[in-house]
Structure 1
Amino acid sequence: MTQGDRPADMRATVRETYGPADLSSVPVFAGGFINFGYWRPEDLDGPPTVEDRIRTQRDLYRHVLDTAAPPAGGRLLEVGCGLGVGCALALEEYGPAQVTGMDIHPQQLERARRANAGLLDGAGPGRLRLVRGAAEDMPFEDAAFDCVYSVEAAQHFDDLTRFAEESARVLRPGGRAAVTSFFATGPEAPPRLAELLDTFADGLDIARPPSELTGAWGRSGLTDVRCASIGPSVWPGWDHWLSAQWKPGTWPRNFLLAWEQGLLDYYVITATRPRP
């Protein structure tokens, strides 16, 4: 099967949210990034600006890429690339030979191609390529990348075990994987999260513990698997931004409540493919 020929099935909520509804166009996700952001304490002083919001989203990418430490001149894969603005940041700031953005949604990839026309193969430096594929079935050869990373997309993946196996397969020996997203903190959390947050109730987000990914990476042969909470740098700032658009008691404000109640947290999870 050649690249782009593999089927990439989507749940109905994912198809709608990232297709006709175009979550990337919603003002709360200013700048085309679709993540909650990585906030500094001083960001909570006074009303945040759109410029603040865009910087926090870029800073979340920087935090993940700094943790992954991709080699200069390496080949990077972003799983769940959305509009590709994170791929563009990686190209601009981390010196890779090439970044591949992969997304399951064809409409997102169409938007990404328009947003990054000057960076695509055959145009300009030709260091960005955009490919349709599922996290559980990546259309790439073994050991194709020096770094595999994903920013706030893993909560949508249908099967974290298959994603772990695929990310391990496409990593070169010595390569690093890094994922950041929000996860349930324990087995009692999913029902309560579905009560608090519409995205868990309608199936857009899947409530799973981070151990589901860390364990699967270990079983897939990756080593130095680490999981670190960055909740204090995400949840208060995200709620601060939401407070300008959503009143207390509305469901988006319950992300902070879920964190305060110990039901949900935000993590960076990393691993390495060992050398022979």
Structure 2
Amino acid sequence: MPQSPEAAAPYPIPAAVCEAYGPGDLGGTPLFGGGFINFGYWQGIDLDSELTEHDRVNSQQALYRRVLGALVPTETSRALEVGCGLGAGCAVALEEFGFAHVTGMDIHPQQLERARRARSRLLEPGSRQLSLAHGAAENMPFDDGTFDRVYSVEAAQHFRDLDAFARETARVLRPGGHAAVASFFAPGNDPDDARHLAGLLETFATGLDVAHSIQQLTGSLERAGLTEVRADSIGASVWPGWDRWLSGTWKPGTWPRNFLRAYRDGILDYYLVTAHRPMAPGSA
């Protein structure tokens, strides 16, 4: 029997994730804004000028635009966002990219409740184009082939099992569908990278983020049967702007500023990964 989209996520929430997106309310901190929770895509924003809250919100919207534009959306497409947070990215997908329907799924019930409260501010009253579902990236509560597009923005660094995420992505995608994942990963397979990242960045030390390599993600997608798997580094448009925004709050050498250092040291980068579910043999 297929699970209801409102069923409780049959997957444990890591303690650090539970705190950050529950009582910690990461999206309510000044580092983020506009209902988004991502580092931003800063291409075209003047980093030599004094950054404003408007610049910060624009950077976060721009990251969604970069990801959604890679999905080749159509007006009949049904999309799933894995790790939707407060739902602001779902609104961008509907309003700017013309999806017929978007489902936002998140593992944390408190985040989903915040998203439900924000829904009236994000979309026209009475809109039926957005659904919110409680579920885990590694065990999604949907039937096979439910979606034409699956995307995830800055959530995969929290996933504990990339193979399970990739299998579920392939399963809920219809044949011919597309997937896009944007997040930060180690660019190589050096086993020391995890230790180095934990020494530089508190989020890796506490277990909020996991030091997956980009090869782990692309390999998982390929093993799940997805094709045309491609990973593009977009770190040059993420890390300098994120660090510049942080500079108004955090001093050099503090752990949040070390994201840029980790990028320059070659042990962390930001990627946009795309993949395709092939059509079944003999299908039109």
TM-score (normalizing by structure 2) = 0.94
Residue 191 (str. 1) matches residue 182 (str. 2): no
How far is 1:74 from its partner?
0.8
Deviations 1:54-99 (A, max 9, x none): 0000000000000111222210000000000000111101111100
Pick from 264, 270, 274: which aligns with 1:270?
A: 274
Deviations 1:178-222 (A, max 9, x none): 000000122231100000000000000000101111111111111
Q: Report SS of the residue matched to 2:70.
A: helix
2:236 & 2:123 partners in 1: Cα distance?
36
The residue number in structure 1 matching 2:37 is 34
1:120 and 1:127 in contact (8 A); partners too:
no
Moved more, 231-240 or 66-75: 66-75
Structure-2 change in CA distance of 1:22 and 1:253 (3 Å):
same
Count matched residues. 275
1:260 & 1:124 partners in 2: Cα distance?
47
1:71 and 1:146 in contact (8 A); partners too:
no
Structure 1, unmatched stretches of 5+, are none
How far is 1:145 from its partner?
0.4
1:164 & 1:149 partners in 2: Cα distance?
12
Pick from 94, 97, 102: which aligns with 2:97?
A: 94
How far is 1:118 from its partner?
6.7
The residue number in structure 2 matching 1:103 is 106
Structure 2, unmatched stretches of 5+, are none
- Aligned-residue identity in percent: 61
Pick from 56, 64, 85: which aligns with 1:53?
A: 56
* Residue type at the aligned position of 1:228: D
1:140 & 1:114 partners in 2: Cα distance?
23
2:157 and 2:211 in contact (8 A); partners too:
yes
Pick from 228, 250, 256: which aligns with 1:224?
A: 228
Pick from 225, 239, 242: which aligns with 1:238?
A: 242
Pick from 80, 83, 89: which aligns with 1:77?
A: 80
Pick from 127, 146, 149: which aligns with 1:147?
A: 149
The residue number in structure 2 matching 1:130 is 132
Structure-2 change in CA distance of 1:243 and 1:120 (3 Å):
closer
Structure-2 change in CA distance of 1:46 and 1:120 (3 Å):
closer
How far is 1:150 from its partner?
0.2
The residue number in structure 2 matching 1:16 is 19
* Residue type at the aligned position of 1:147: R
Moved more, 149-158 or 210-219: 210-219
Structure-2 change in CA distance of 1:74 and 1:134 (3 Å):
same
Q: Report SS of the residue matched to 1:44.
A: coil
Pick from 42, 66, 70: which aligns with 1:67?
A: 70
2:162 & 2:45 partners in 1: Cα distance?
35
1:190 & 1:170 partners in 2: Cα distance?
31
The residue number in structure 1 matching 2:166 is 164
The residue number in structure 1 matching 2:46 is 43
2:88 and 2:122 in contact (8 A); partners too:
no
1:223 and 1:274 in contact (8 A); partners too:
yes
* Residue type at the aligned position of 1:9: P
1:120 and 1:126 in contact (8 A); partners too:
no
1:175 and 1:273 in contact (8 A); partners too:
yes
2:58 & 2:42 partners in 1: Cα distance?
9
Q: Report SS of the residue matched to 1:140.
A: coil
TM-score (normalizing by structure 1) = 0.96
Pick from 6, 18, 28: which aligns with 1:25?
A: 28
1:116 & 1:231 partners in 2: Cα distance?
31
How far is 1:2 from its partner?
3.0
2:183 and 2:272 in contact (8 A); partners too:
yes
